[in-house]
């Protein structure tokens, strides 16, 4: 049988019936025939369109999951001051009891004054709106309850970047209203009215980037939501309807008019007296708008902030993938407690800014690290964070290791001489006062440098000159004057392996010992390693020198101490990560030698870099004067300053002949160019630090009267601790490691059994997992490389 053709006027009649569907639903609710499944008794009357709607309703789940709302993460300085926020939505969720009563009254008055009297559907409001819309042949008045609005906002929130889902959540159709109603019924059955209102006030958008009432209160009035008065609450309540159109920042007159509508509505409902509403309506908006900086650009410590963010993104404990970790940081409502000292940061910033201008063909950087904790106290860079390259701005972080920054680093120059100095002292082959003839120029043989496998490094030769002075040198004079030929001969006694490995243990990211890494590059473990041919960063050098200040206890740089979740519960703590890498007595000896740089006759002293308390330091100048350094420390703070020649793209270049900080540099040096930048910052810091002195080195300990570390592998944690403490050491328990030793027993210690330390030094013991994974296949062959370079003070 054929389908009869539509009669004239049939489409119009059917469309009219469909428009009346909303009224029918409301009427059916009043008659008690609307059930949770939303079966429509009028489906046969309105035809296929209504049937389709009803069928689609039956396909919807009866419950909408109320997932946690995205909240901004706050980053705090060591003293609790806010230094940055990360967020996709600027929101801080608060409980209903943390929202001022006038705010609750205002939002109910203007959006749903019968909220606590009706169910999911406000029948009166819906009938009123539908009749008005029908008369106007369009949507001119909303009738949604707060619960329905909350459903809509939840659907929009959960749609995220799915435009189709967003469209479905915001379409002005009765079908969308019915879908919202079904979810709203489920919410009303599952949650209390207070819970629904609280979520609504936290999910609503109030304009100007503020999500939720707490963020809005801070944004517009610089106060918490709990402190809002009637006038302020009326303004915020009025924004929900059209947060862009009523934005008080861009459209103050519209915002004031809308605020007054809310005040008059509150008076009409007898929430406030009419006289008070009239009086408040005549007042100004009273804004105290606060910036809501997102990210690190406007932070008082932008590059420290950047370092913190990258540090946490690498922490696998915060998520399986980097994307999950970024989402957590930007929407988890975390509180990140950091180590930065804002006073030190300000001093570092001012010093770097004074010595190197943003548009100079140079980059200045300074890092401060606390000995025995690794706490990063300041990170400063001469090129400010920002997008304007012409103004010298950049988003590239030059002061941190390449693993967490944007630069391969800059050659460390003579700052690396301390690794050979410390190794020589630890080996006990050369005494502190033993003289070595160090001529102005020498031809050195590669066969005199033993590599890690015990073989000679090579069979060639290379020429080296001194840039400072020459003659008979010992550890004190050779270090004070940074004599190249002295240290190259000292390296012949230590070998290449131990100084290289010590530098790694002390925090220098050395990853290309033989030049085999992808992309090639200069090999690092070469005879001229002592002259600082390897690239590094200010933070790495400060961390390494803090090890000397900490009497041989190396602590990895730590920017974060703890993370708390949105409820204030500790999500993760970041304890200090320390290992005794040198006997305390050896570190004491290094400190004694490096004090000479800061005392009469030393480069630092001659440049006015001495501090009010005891300090030690080392200068550094890389090949062709492309980078100059000053690394110095007290017993309780280490800092490394660097000035490197670089064009606007960051490509290294010589500093010679450049104008840096308004001063022409004919020949750059560590003490004269980078030293003053270190001195300005550290002289301020010294006024804040408790007085402390280095421990004088014991000649007998240096010459071999150190204490041998007992072997504790296979012991219980308790027994190993007892044995080590009886031997005079402090004990720290590290993380679990893979080994054949039974689970829970000590796998090994660091330093290991048989190694020598000073009494009181720290030995770290590592519990065993009882499991050893299958080792990867080793590559055969050894590629020798040759590195050249020079360094001077």
Lowest mean pLDDT among 30-39, 165-174, 506-515: 30-39
Query: Is pLDDT above 90 for 720?
Result: yes
When pLDDT is averaged across residues 352-377 and rounded to a whole number, the result is 96
pLDDT at 253: 96
pLDDT at 778: 55
From the list 124, 169, 129, 121, the residue with the least C-alpha distance to 145 is: 121
Express each pLDDT in 705-718 by its tens digit: 567 899 999 999 99
Q: Quickly count helices (H) and strands (E) in the chain.
A: 27, 25
- What is the rounded distance in angstroms from the CA atom of residue 641 to the CA atom of residue 335? 31
pLDDT at 8: 47
CB-CB contact of 553 with 758 (8 Å): no
- What is the rounded distance in angstroms from the CA atom of residue 242 to the CA atom of residue 229? 21
Using CA atoms of 432, 436, 440, 445 in order, give the dihedral in degrees to the nearest 10: -110
Do the strands 535-536 and 553-555 form a parallel or antiparallel pair, or are they unpaired? unpaired
From the list 552, 73, 565, 546, the residue with the least C-alpha distance to 308 is: 73
- What is the rounded distance in angstroms from the CA atom of residue 413 to the CA atom of residue 670? 9
Residue 244 buriedness (CB in 10 A; 0-12 / 13-18 / 19+): exposed
Query: Is pLDDT above 80 for 783?
Result: no
pLDDT at 138: 47
- What is the rounded distance in angstroms from the CA atom of residue 604 to the CA atom of residue 467? 17
CB-CB contact of 142 with 127 (8 Å): no
Query: Which DSSP state fits 674?
Result: I
Count of C-beta atoms within a 10 Å radius of residue 670: 33
Helix (H) or strand (E) segment spanning residue 763:
strand 762-767
Query: Is pLDDT above 60 for 108?
Result: yes
Do the strands 335-338 and 73-76 form a parallel or antiparallel pair, or are they unpaired? parallel
CB-CB contact of 404 with 507 (8 Å): no
- CA 611 to the chain's CA centroid: 32
Return the higher-pLDDT residue of 89 and 15: 89
- Helix 252-268 crosses helix 274-281 at what angle (to 10 degrees)? 180
Query: Is pLDDT above 90 for 351?
Result: yes
CB-CB contact of 641 with 538 (8 Å): yes
Long-range pairs for 781-786: beta carbons < 8 A, 24 or more residues apart = 782/453, 782/514, 783/514, 783/515, 783/516, 784/457, 784/458, 784/514, 785/514, 785/515, 785/522, 785/523, 785/526, 786/446, 786/458, 786/460, 786/462, 786/523, 786/526
pLDDT at 63: 65
Query: Is pLDDT above 90 for 18?
Result: no
Express each pLDDT in 365-381 by its tens digit: 999 999 999 999 999 99
What is the phi/psi pair of residue 249, to 5°? -75, -45
CB-CB contact of 329 with 308 (8 Å): no
- What is the rounded distance in angstroms from the CA atom of residue 355 to the CA atom of residue 658? 13
- What is the rounded distance in angstroms from the CA atom of residue 197 to the CA atom of residue 176? 21
Integer angstrom CA distances of residue 236 from 100, 201, 206, 530: 12, 10, 7, 65
Express each pLDDT in 144-157 by its tens digit: 789 988 888 888 88
Express each pLDDT in 510-555 by its tens digit: 988 888 776 667 899 999 999 999 999 999 999 999 999 999 999 9
When pLDDT is averaged across residues 749-753 and rounded to a whole number, the result is 90
Handedness of CA 530, 532, 535, 538 (dihedral sign): positive
Give the pLDDT band of residue 187 (cuts 50, 70, 90).
Answer: confident
From the list 459, 404, 468, the residue with the least C-alpha distance to 672 is: 468
Query: Is pLDDT above 50 for 26?
Result: no
Query: Is pLDDT above 50 for 479?
Result: yes
Give the pLDDT band of residue 728 (cuts 50, 70, 90).
Answer: confident
DSSP string, 764-776: EEEEB-S--PPPP
CB-CB contact of 355 with 660 (8 Å): yes
Query: Is pLDDT above 70 for 165?
Result: no
pLDDT at 36: 36
Q: How many CA atoms lie within 13 A of 294 on its CB side?
A: 15
Query: Is pLDDT above 90 for 19?
Result: no
When pLDDT is averaged across residues 655-677 and rounded to a whole number, the result is 92
CB-CB contact of 360 with 660 (8 Å): yes
Return the higher-pLDDT residue of 124 and 1: 124
Longest dimension (CA), the chain: 117
Count of C-beta atoms within a 10 Å radius of residue 445: 15
- The DSSP bridge partners found for residue 436 are 473
Residue 590 buriedness (CB in 10 A; 0-12 / 13-18 / 19+): buried
Handedness of CA 576, 582, 584, 587 (dihedral sign): negative
Give the pLDDT band of residue 122 (cuts 50, 70, 90).
Answer: confident
Handedness of CA 110, 116, 120, 122 (dihedral sign): negative
Q: Which residues contact 771 (CB under 8 A, 6 or more apart)?
A: 738, 743
Question: Cα(first)–Cα(last) distance of the chain, in Å?
Answer: 103
pTM: 0.80
Return the higher-pLDDT residue of 18 and 506: 506
Express each pLDDT in 275-323 by its tens digit: 999 999 999 999 999 887 889 998 999 999 999 999 999 999 999 999 9
Lowest mean pLDDT among 17-31, 59-73, 641-655, 695-709: 17-31
- What is the rounded distance in angstroms from the CA atom of residue 151 to the CA atom of residue 153? 5
Integer angstrom CA distances of residue 691 from 272, 348, 633, 636, 688: 62, 21, 13, 9, 9
pLDDT at 587: 95
Express each pLDDT in 569-623 by its tens digit: 999 999 999 999 999 999 999 999 999 998 888 888 888 888 989 999 999 998 8
When pLDDT is averaged across residues 481-491 and rounded to a whole number, the result is 95
- What is the rounded distance in angstroms from the CA atom of residue 736 to the CA atom of residue 367? 31
pLDDT at 726: 85
Percentage of the chain with pLDDT > 90?
A: 65
Length of the chain: 793
Query: Which DSSP state fits 670?
Result: I
Mean pLDDT of the chain: 86
Give the pLDDT band of residue 132 (cuts 50, 70, 90).
Answer: low
Give the pLDDT band of residue 170 (cuts 50, 70, 90).
Answer: low
DSSP alpha helix (H) spans, 34-97: 43-46, 48-59
pLDDT at 168: 65
From the list 435, 464, 426, 434, the residue with the least C-alpha distance to 448 is: 464
Query: Is pLDDT above 60 for 204?
Result: yes
When pLDDT is averaged across residues 96-123 and rounded to a whole number, the result is 91
pLDDT at 757: 79
């Amino acid at each position: 049988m054929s389908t009869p053709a539509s009669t004239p006027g049939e489409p119009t009649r059917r469309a009219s019936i469909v428009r009346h569907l909303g009224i029918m639903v409301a009427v059916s609710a009043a008659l008690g025939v609307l059930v949770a499944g939303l079966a429509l008794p009028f489906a046969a009357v309105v035809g296929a369109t209504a049937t389709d709607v009803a069928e689609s309703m039956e396909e919807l789940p009866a419950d909408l999951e109320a997932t946690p709302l995205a909240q901004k993460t706050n980053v705090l300085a060591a003293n609790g001051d806010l230094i940055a926020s990360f967020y996709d939505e600027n929101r801080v969720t608060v409980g209903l009891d943390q929202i001022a009563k006038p705010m609750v009254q205002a939002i109910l008055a203007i959006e749903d004054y019968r909220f606590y009297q009706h169910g999911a559907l406000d029948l009166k409001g819906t009938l009123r709106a539908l009749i008005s819309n029908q008369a106007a042949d369009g949507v001119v008045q909303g009738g949604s309850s707060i619960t329905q609005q909350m459903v809509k906002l939840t659907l929009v929130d959960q749609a995220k970047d799915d435009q189709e889902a967003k469209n479905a959540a915001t379409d002005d159709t009765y079908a969308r209203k019915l879908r919202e109603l079904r979810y709203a019924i489920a919410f009303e059955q599952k949650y209390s009215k207070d819970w629904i209102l609280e979520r609504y006030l936290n999910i609503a958008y109030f304009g100007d980037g503020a999500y939720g009432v707490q963020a809005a209160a801070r944004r517009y009035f610089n106060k918490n939501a709990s402190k809002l008065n009637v006038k302020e609450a009326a303004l915020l309540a009025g924004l929900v309807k059209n947060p862009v159109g009523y934005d008080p920042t861009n459209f103050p007159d519209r915002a004031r008019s809308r605020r007054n509508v809310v005040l008059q509505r509150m008076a009409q409902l007898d929430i406030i007296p009419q006289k008070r509403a009239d009086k408040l309506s005549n007042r100004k908006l009273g804004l105290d708008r606060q910036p809501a900086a997102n990210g690190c650009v406007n932070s008082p410590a932008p590059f420290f902030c950047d370092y913190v963010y990258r540090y946490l993104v690498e922490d696998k404990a915060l998520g399986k993938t980097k994307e999950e970790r970024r989402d957590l940081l930007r929407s988890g409502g975390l509180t990140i407690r950091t180590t930065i000292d804002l006073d030190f940061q300000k001093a570092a910033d001012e010093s770097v800014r004074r010595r190197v201008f943003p548009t100079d063909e140079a980059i200045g950087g300074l890092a401060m690290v606390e000995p025995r904790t690794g706490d990063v106290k300041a990170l400063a860079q001469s090129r400010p964070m920002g997008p304007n390259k012409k103004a010298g701005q950049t988003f590239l972080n030059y002061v941190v290791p390449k693993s967490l920054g944007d630069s391969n680093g800059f050659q460390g120059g003579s700052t690396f001489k301390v690794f050979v100095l410390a190794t020589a002292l630890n080996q006990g082959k050369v005494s502190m006062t033993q003289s070595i003839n160090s001529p102005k120029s020498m031809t050195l043989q590669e066969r005199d440098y033993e590599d890690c496998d015990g073989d000679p490094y090579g069979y060639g030769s290379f020429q080296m000159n001194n840039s400072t002075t020459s003659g008979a040198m010992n550890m004190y004079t050779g270090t004070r004057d940074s004599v190249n030929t002295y240290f190259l001969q000292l390296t012949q006694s230590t070998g290449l392996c131990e100084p290289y490995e010590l530098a790694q243990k002390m925090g220098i990211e050395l990853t290309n010992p033989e030049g085999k890494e992808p992309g090639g590059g200069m090999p690092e473990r070469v005879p001229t390693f002592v002259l600082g041919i390897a690239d590094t960063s200010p933070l790495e050098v400060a961390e390494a020198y803090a090890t000397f200040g900490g009497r041989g206890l190396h602590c990895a740089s730590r920017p974060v101490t703890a993370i708390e979740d949105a409820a204030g519960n500790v999500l993760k703590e970041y304890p200090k990560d320390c290992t005794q890498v040198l006997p305390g007595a050896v570190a004491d000896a290094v400190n004694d030698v490096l004090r000479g740089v800061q005392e009469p006759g030393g480069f630092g002293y001659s440049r006015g870099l001495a501090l009010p308390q005891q300090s030690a330091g080392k200068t550094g100048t890389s090949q062709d004067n492309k980078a100059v350094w000053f690394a110095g420390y007290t017993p309780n703070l280490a800092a490394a300053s660097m000035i490197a020649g670089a064009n606007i793209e960051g490509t290294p270049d010589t500093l010679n002949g450049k104008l840096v900080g308004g001063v022409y540099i004919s020949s750059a040096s560590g003490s004269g160019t980078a030293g003053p930048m270190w001195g300005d910052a550290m002289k301020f810091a010294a006024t804040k630090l408790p007085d402390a002195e280095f421990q004088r080195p014991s000649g007998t300990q240096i010459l071999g009267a150190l204490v041998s570390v007992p072997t504790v592998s296979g012991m219980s944690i308790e027994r190993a601790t007892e044995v080590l403490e009886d031997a005079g050491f402090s004990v720290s328990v590290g993380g679990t490691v893979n080994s054949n030793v039974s689970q829970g027993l000590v796998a090994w210690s660091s330093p290991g059994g048989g190694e020598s330390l000073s009494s009181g030094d720290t030995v770290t013991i590592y519990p065993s997992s009882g499991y050893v994974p299958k080792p990867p296949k080793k590559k055969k062959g050894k590629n020798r490389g040759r590195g050249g370079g020079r360094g001077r003070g």
